[in-house]
Every structure is written in C-alpha cells, then in structure tokens.
Chain A
C-alpha cells in the first residue's frame, strides 16, 4: 500500500468513524468489509461519503460511478479515489 493510499484510507476511516460512529477492528468494520453486507451505512450514508470524497480529494464522482465496485468498502473507495486522482 502506498503512502497516498494509506492517507486516503485514514481520512475515509475517520469520516466513517465520526459520522456513522463505527469503530474499526474486531467485531466491527474492517477495510475490506462490504457496507452492503454489514448493513452499517444506508443509501444517504453512501451519498454523504461520496460528497465527503468529492470535497476532500477534489474529485467529481459521476452518476454511473455510484456502484459497489467503486464504493462498497474502505479499500474500494480508496482504490477508486486513487484511480480518479491519477
């Protein structure tokens, strides 16, 4: 994992922790966990997360990019942001 990717993940984790009051680690959320399967974020939560990513990383998420492959875990979001930034 690069320094940039690790920094992106840290910011996303922080946002999730502060806004959805979810702790990372045992019995809670890991970076690879699916938000869908864990049921911890609802549809507006995903939108808040996208809005946060757009502002924080200065990217524009297109409507057709709102899919699980890009957004459904901390790992996937970080990888998506990295791809958008490159």
Chain B
C-alpha cells in the first residue's frame, strides 16, 4: 500500500472532519487530500518522476502535510529536513540526497538559493494553494508502485560525523503506523497536540497514525512558551499529547500546567530517550486522569519498537515495556546468543518497520542490518516477566531535547577552526534537556579564544548542536589505540 492511501481513505470516510489546525487555519480531510492532489500535479509538471527525491524544508504546518502526501502520491520520495540547519549542513544533505525539487517557503529561500539550482525550489506560499483554489472536481492520474518502494528518507546523526539518511519504504511506514494504532487506539474523534517536528520520526508517526484514523493534528510551534501551547490544548480540547522528556520537564517545571484544567486530555506518549521514573510519576500525579505511555524506538525502525502498557506503569516503572505488535525484540550478547534474564546485551529488532538501509551508505547499512535483525546499539536486559530495561547506549550520541547529535560532527567542525589542535565533544547531564554539549579543546595557538571558537561553530552548526561549555585542556584522555575516551571526560564539565 502507498502511504498516501491513508489520506485518500480518510478523506473518503471523514471528508468533513478537521484534519489539521494551525493557528487560525483549519483544513478538513477533503481539503488536505484535494490540495495534495493539486500539488502532486504541480510536482509532475515540474519534472518529478517516480523514485526521485523531494526535499521538504518547512516548519510543521498544513503546507507540510499537503507537501508530504503530494510527494507520496507521485511515488516520489519525501525528504524532510530540519529547518534549523545552517548552510553548511544543508549543503551536505542536498548533495547527499540530490533532490529533483525542494518545497519550502519564502523564509528559507535566501539560504537555499546559494546552495542549489533556483529552478528546483518551489515556494509553497507562492503556489496559491488555499481553500479557495480547490475545484469541485479534480483528477490526479494514479501512479503505480510497490509496497517496498522508497517513500521517505529521514536524516539522523551518524556515527561517522555526517548525518545518515534512513530509507523508509511505504510498507515500513504503514506497518509502524498500524502497530502504534493497535496499542494507542486513537480514533477519528482524537485530537493530538503536535509540538514535535514532522522532520523527525516521532513527529512523522504522529502524522501517519492520526491521518490514518481520521483524527485531528493540532499544530503549535511555540513550545518556546509552553503556556501558549497549554492555551491551545485547552482551546482545541486536545485528547492527546506527545513529547520527549524535555517537553514534560518544561511543562512540569516551567509552565503553569497545574493551573490548567485539561479535561479532554486522554493520553500522553513519551519517547526520545529515558525519562526519570520520578518525573513520570509527578506528571501522572499532576494530571491523574490521563494514560501515560512510555515508548521506545529509533528512526531506523521507522519510529517505534516497544511500549509500556499503562496498566504496567506502576509495577514496571523504568522499563520501556515489550515489543509493539508485529515486532520481535531480542537481547543478544556479543556472540549473537540470547542473554539470560537479567543479563545485559544489545537490543536487536525484526519487523516490517525496519528500514531498507542508509541512503548511499552500504557499509553503514551492513553494520546495523544483520541476519539477526536491526542492531539498535542500545544495551538492555529483560526481567523475569519479559519487560525490557535500557542500560546504556553503545553509540556515542548526545541526546539533547528531541535531537540526536553526533559528537564527531561537532568535533569535525571545531577542528576546522585555526588554533584548534584536537577536541572532544561530550554530553553533559542537563535537568531540562537530558544532555547539553560540552567541548574539550587542546589549543595549537595561544591566541585562540573561547568566544572566537563559539562564533565559528555558530556559523557552521545548527543552534541545537552548539556547545554550551568550552574547556581548554592540555591533552585528551585516549585509549592505547589513540581513540578519545569520552566517558572519562563526561563528568568533568558538570
């Protein structure tokens, strides 16, 4: 099934249901489906052919959703990119995925102009795609494809320093959405509050699952001011909320959450890294009538791999639960044997949601897609009841808010600054974000200042990748093979 069937089917079943609310804009399922048909024809008129990539560089919006389904309807490949990226980062990704077209808006036009052929840029705010432009009847010639065709590439931080494009097929996306729907049971009457960006897998899963069931996506990109989002939740009577740990910590510590009566809120989901059991308990105590779902996954698995059913939250708090429907999770030792109860090993996953591989990276793909399944790089154990508990990560990623950041990428940028001999980026524990970035630097010039180095980083790294602390040191701790011992550094900058 082509993933675009989700919007087509829901537009047939619930044409007048509200599909998306964003600020004062509201679109029904009929309108989103029809506008994505119109945009699909525009993409074809601009030369898009089956299998070609189309970058989406848009914040969460109705336009994003229209673009996403328009691309899928043409059997193109949607490549959403993080709108916070700077020129250097965008340039790398555009070279890597070589898109036929880029859908963006006037806000991002100037950044893109110097990076790509201006003829490939479609400014969606100039396309006259609005409710008034919807004709009574409209024809989009169906394009045939296969379930296993590439539908989407989501870039994620790579262990080599450069981001990797996770290739997801229509089947991957449909299977994961179906599985999530099976355990969360959203319906056409649900309204999900969307503060997570659609360009990450968690945001994409909110999009696919709610479109499939005919529910409403309530978008608010102002989590900078959480009280504004709470106002929206109350006004729109949202029934669901999805967040990463930092969203919940900000709501608990830096908002007026306790003064809001969110009577319609039925459930909340949390993924994107471990949230402390104490925080989960505090959130439930604050809004006792909700169901709190702890979830686990990764982009390479489309989004979701495991969840903790709410009835086990009390007894199994701290666990990520068990495999979601349609997924098998093993915990294997270094000899690829299943570990015993209580023993730690790597989580290895199998299921129809496991990615096709990394774009343009056969070696990296071979490193994680093995005959045993997807190597998640996460270390965990199972208890006597089969519930999984995460212990550590094998990969040296920094998790900050909703972002995964490769220390190598930061180091590679910092090392390009004259006066830097070598450096090491590490995650520093942070109450709100989980981790922030610390950078240890060995100088080759006494003239190098922290401020100059940070300015250089700012020009070359997105804001969420910026080091918060820089420390000049005489040398970096290393293994006998010369590899930096990051763990030995992590504690020093706290």
Contact = CB atoms under 8 A, between A and B. Distances in A.
Interface of A: 20-21, 35-36, 39-47, 62-64, 66-68, 71-72
Contacts of A41: 224
A66 B227 contact: yes
B84 interface: yes
10 contacts: A21-B454, A42-B401, A44-B246, A44-B401, A45-B224, A47-B254, A63-B257, A64-B256, A66-B227, A68-B228
B433 interface: yes
Contacts of B83: 39
B1 interface: no
B458 interface: yes
Given A21-B455, A63-B254, A64-B227, A42 B463 contact: yes
Interface of B: 83-84, 222-228, 246, 250, 254-257, 259, 401, 432-433, 454-455, 458, 463-464, 466
B222 A68 contact: yes
Contacts of A64: 227, 256, 259
B393 to A, nearest CB: 22
A24 B391 CA distance: 45
A45 B250 CA distance: 12
A3 to B, nearest CB: 29
Contacts, number: 57
A74 to B, nearest CB: 15
Nearest to B221: A36
B225 A46 contact: yes
A68 B225 contact: yes
Contact of B226 (A39, A43, A45): A43
B401 A66 contact: no
Chain A: interface secondary structure? helix
A42 B464 contact: yes
B225 A72 contact: yes
Given A42-B463, A44-B401, A44-B433, A63 B222 contact: no
Contacts of B458: 21
A86 B464 CA distance: 36
Nearest to A19: B468
Contacts of A40: 463
Given A40-B463, A43-B250, 11 more contacts: A21-B454, A42-B401, A42-B464, A43-B224, A63-B255, A63-B256, A63-B257, A63-B259, A66-B225, A66-B256, A67-B227
Contacts of A20: 463
B84 A39 contact: yes
B228 A44 contact: no
A35 B224 contact: yes
B23 to A, nearest CB: 12
Nearest to B260: A64
A44 B432 contact: yes
A49 to B, nearest CB: 11
Contact of A67 (B228, B250, B401, B432): B228
A27 B182 CA distance: 49
The 7 closest A-B pairs by CB, nearest first: A64-B256, A63-B256, A21-B458, A43-B224, A68-B225, A67-B227, A46-B224
B226 A66 contact: yes
A85 B127 CA distance: 49
A85 B423 CA distance: 44
A36 B227 contact: no
Nearest to A61: B254
B255 A66 contact: yes
A84 B83 CA distance: 36
Contacts of A62: 256
A42 to B, nearest CB: 6
Contacts of A39: 83-84
A62 B259 CA distance: 12
Contacts of A71: 225
A12 B223 CA distance: 22
Given A47-B432, A66-B255, A42 B224 contact: yes
Contacts of B222: 36, 68
Nearest to B259: A64
Contacts of B433: 44
A47 B250 CA distance: 9
Nearest to B222: A36
Contacts of B226: 43, 66
A45 B430 CA distance: 13
B464 to A, nearest CB: 7
A15 to B, nearest CB: 14
Contacts of B246: 43-44
B233 to A, nearest CB: 15
A14 to B, nearest CB: 13
Contacts of A67: 225, 227-228
A63 B351 CA distance: 44
Contacts of A44: 246, 401, 432-433
A35 B250 CA distance: 18
B323 to A, nearest CB: 32
Nearest to A40: B463
Nearest to A46: B224
Contacts of B401: 42-44
Nearest to A21: B458
